[in-house]
């Protein structure tokens, strides 16, 4: 009964939660880190009351009082997607969670994962997204937002809520699967202050605009979400949509946990609501390694040390973690018969230093052959033959042994079934 009431009051909870969050990236992190420590300790106490986590604490021989700060969370086991899928999958059909929100991931790293949120947790997660906007200088109370249709949004494209009729939290939706001219016309008609879509979906629009000369309204801010934005992507987005690109990093499971503002070369973590650690293969804090996210607001069914599937580079200053580079998915590898791999991060410079390449995807067919889907700037200085020679020669200097290449030239690379675009698709065992 209480969950049902809270579900109906979610917009009110968003309004109550938003003022409690940090609305800008602080210059002095001492207060926010103190708050993070307090919330980490409360989360550890709460998690130990849940059977799933009590077993994990006991297995690691850790007590709640041993967890005093965000770094201490690495004393506990990593939470993998498979573990989360099995745990939440066994809970979601229970009657006690009838009025909770069950989100499902896109499945970009495997089978989709269902994640349960209590209404209070979901309200905080939504408020946190508005906080991202405030950190950029956008006012969600008065601004106009537009996004792709999301199956988790309540009544997308339907009648405005009471608050929206008052001009608060205005949010329009656009069918991301409609033909490019229709989507662009819808954006131009609404003229959003804030626009966000999956990167691949937004890339489809800017490639069409570049190819046809059709103009797209320049939002004050826009966010290509859910996928890594390369420097080539960033340059093309700025050319077609203006300077307002921001990079908000997070997952459907955790929410937006860190933010790269325009002109910055690092991501700042929302430390009052999240812990982001980077660990090596032994689970120890490292400068380069796997990203683990712990949302501190998710206390009803916590996600502690959730491994999102990305690698990153981290620097620490006065006890505060900053992410300087997100290297991409762990499964984005070129593979060799002897078990060695080459990551997309290693080949990124070859692509980043060639502005004639607008979009690219590598499909490794065998241990000897890579199929390359590629979109070339029609105004490129290099011909198709030049680009093929450049890519094959440059990449084979990086690979641990030479590959054969076959090229497929396209106007736009179609996304995967989940709407995203993996940069490397490895089809060998």
pTM above threshold 0.85: no
Q: Are residues 56 and 111 in the same domain?
A: yes
Q: Are residues 341 and 421 in the same domain?
A: yes
Q: Looking at the structure, do residues 366 and 253 belong to the same domain, yes or no?
A: no
Q: Is residue 291 part of a domain?
A: yes
* Strand spans (E) along 296-368: 306-317, 320-329, 333-335, 341-343, 357-364
Provide CB contacts within 8 A for 172, sequence distance 6+. Answer: 144, 145, 146, 157, 190, 192
Q: What is the pLDDT of residue 311?
A: 87
Q: Which of 299, 328, 357 is the last residue of a domain?
A: 328
212 falls within a domain: no
Q: Are 120 and 236 found together in one domain?
A: yes
Does one domain contain both 234 and 346? no
Residues 134 and 261 in one domain: yes
User: How many C-beta atoms lie closer than 10 Å to residue 308's C-beta?
Assistant: 22
Angle, vertex CA 272, rays to CA 270 and CA 275, nearest 5: 65
Q: What is the pLDDT of residues 288-316, one digit of tens each?
A: 999 999 999 999 999 999 998 888 999 99
pLDDT at position 162: 62
Whether 421 is in a domain gets the answer yes
Q: How far apart are CA 309 and CA 64, in angstroms?
A: 26
Tell whether 65 and 103 lie within a shared domain: yes
| N residues, the chain | 429
CB atoms within 10 A of CB 141: 15
Query: At which of 281, 296, 328 does a domain end?
Result: 328
pLDDT per residue of the chain (429 residues) written in tens, 0 to 9: 566 677 777 778 888 888 888 888 888 899 999 999 999 999 999 999 999 999 999 999 999 999 999 999 999 999 999 999 999 988 888 988 988 998 877 555 556 788 999 999 999 999 998 899 899 888 878 899 999 887 545 445 555 666 666 667 788 999 988 899 999 999 999 999 999 998 888 999 999 999 999 999 999 999 998 777 888 888 999 999 999 998 889 988 999 999 998 778 899 999 999 999 999 989 999 999 999 999 999 999 999 999 988 889 999 988 899 999 887 664 568 989 988 888 777 887 888 788 899 999 999 999 999 999 999 998 888 999 999 999 999 999 999 999 999 999 999 998 877 667 788 888 987
- Whether residue 95 is found in the same domain as residue 236: yes
Q: Write the CB contacts of 391 (distance below 8 Å, at least 6 apart in sequence).
A: 350, 372, 374, 405, 407
Tell me how far apart the alpha carbons of residues 356 and 376 are, in angstroms, rounded to a whole number: 6
12 in any annotated domain: yes
Among 304, 196, 295, 205, which residue's Cα sits nearest to residue 255? 295
Cβ–Cβ under 8 Å, residues 308 and 49: no
371 and 388 in contact (C-beta within 8 Å)?
no
167 assigned to some structural domain? no
Counted domains in the chain? 2
411 and 323 in a common domain: no
CATH number at 401 reads: 3.30.300.30
* Residue pointed to by tokens 């409690």: 20
If asked whether residues 236 and 322 sit together in one domain, one would say yes
Note down the domain range covering 404: 333-426
Residue 34 counted as domain residue? yes
Check which CATH number belongs to the domain holding 304 and give it.
Answer: 3.40.50.12780
Q: Do residues 350 and 416 share a domain?
A: yes
Q: Which residues contact 289 (CB under 8 A, 6 or more apart)?
A: 278, 279, 280, 281, 311, 312, 314
Residue 126 tokens, joined: 């939504």
Which of 323, 270, 264, 300 has the alpha carbon at shortest distance from 50?
300
Q: Which of 328, 355, 379 delimits the end of a domain?
A: 328
- Given a contact cutoff of 8 angstroms between Cβ atoms, the answer to whether 44 and 67 are in contact is yes
Instruction: Mark whether 339 and 321 lie in a shared domain.
Output: no
Residue 401 inside a domain? The answer is yes
Q: Is residue 313 part of a domain?
A: yes
- The confidence score (pLDDT) of residue 160 equals 65
């Amino acid at each position: 009964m209480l969950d049902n009431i809270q579900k109906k009051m979610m917009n009110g909870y968003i309004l109550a939660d938003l003022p409690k969050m940090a609305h800008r990236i602080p210059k002095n992190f001492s207060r926010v880190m103190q708050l993070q420590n307090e919330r980490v300790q409360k989360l550890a106490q709460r998690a130990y009351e849940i059977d799933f986590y009590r077993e994990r604490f006991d297995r690691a021989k850790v007590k709640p009082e041993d967890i005093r700060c965000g770094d201490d969370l690495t004393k506990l086991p990593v939470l993998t997607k498979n573990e989360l899928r099995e745990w939440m999958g066994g809970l979601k059909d229970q009657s006690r969670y009838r009025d909770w929100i069950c989100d499902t991931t896109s499945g970009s790293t495997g089978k989709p994962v269902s994640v349960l949120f209590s209404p209070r947790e979901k309200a905080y997660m939504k408020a946190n997204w508005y906080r991202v906007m405030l950190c950029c200088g956008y006012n969600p109370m008065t601004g106009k937002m537009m996004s792709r249709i999301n199956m988790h949004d309540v009544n997308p494209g339907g009648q405005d809520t009471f608050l929206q009729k008052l001009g608060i939290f205005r949010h329009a939706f656009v069918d991301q699967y409609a033909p490019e001219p229709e989507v662009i016309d819808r954006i131009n008609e609404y003229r959003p202050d804030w626009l966000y879509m999956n990167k691949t979906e937004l890339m489809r629009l800017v490639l069409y605009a570049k190819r046809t000369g059709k103009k797209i309204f320049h939002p004050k801010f826009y966010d290509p979400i859910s996928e890594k934005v390369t420097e080539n992507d960033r340059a093309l987005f700025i050319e077609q949509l203006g300077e307002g690109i921001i990079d908000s990093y997070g997952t459907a499971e955790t929410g937006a946990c860190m933010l790269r503002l325009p002109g910055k070369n690092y991501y700042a973590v929302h430390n009052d609501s999240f812990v982001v650690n980077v660990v090596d293969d032994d689970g120890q804090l490292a400068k380069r390694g796997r990203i683990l996210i712990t949302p501190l607001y998710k206390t009803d069914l916590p996600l502690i040390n959730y491994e999102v599937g990305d690698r990153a580079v981290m620097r620490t200053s006065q006890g505060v973690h900053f992410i300087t580079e997100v290297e991409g998915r762990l499964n984005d590898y070129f593979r060799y018969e002897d078990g060695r791999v080459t990551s997309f991060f290693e080949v990124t410079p070859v692509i980043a230093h060639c502005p004639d390449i607008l979009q690219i995807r590598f499909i490794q067919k065998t241990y000897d052959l890579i199929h390359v889907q590629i979109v070339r700037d029609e105004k490129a200085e290099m011909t198709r033959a030049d680009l093929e020679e450049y890519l094959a020669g440059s990449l084979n200097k990086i690979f641990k042994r030479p590959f054969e290449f076959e090229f497929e030239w396209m106007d736009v690379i179609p996304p995967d079934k989940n709407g995203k675009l993996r940069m490397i698709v490895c089809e060998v065992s």
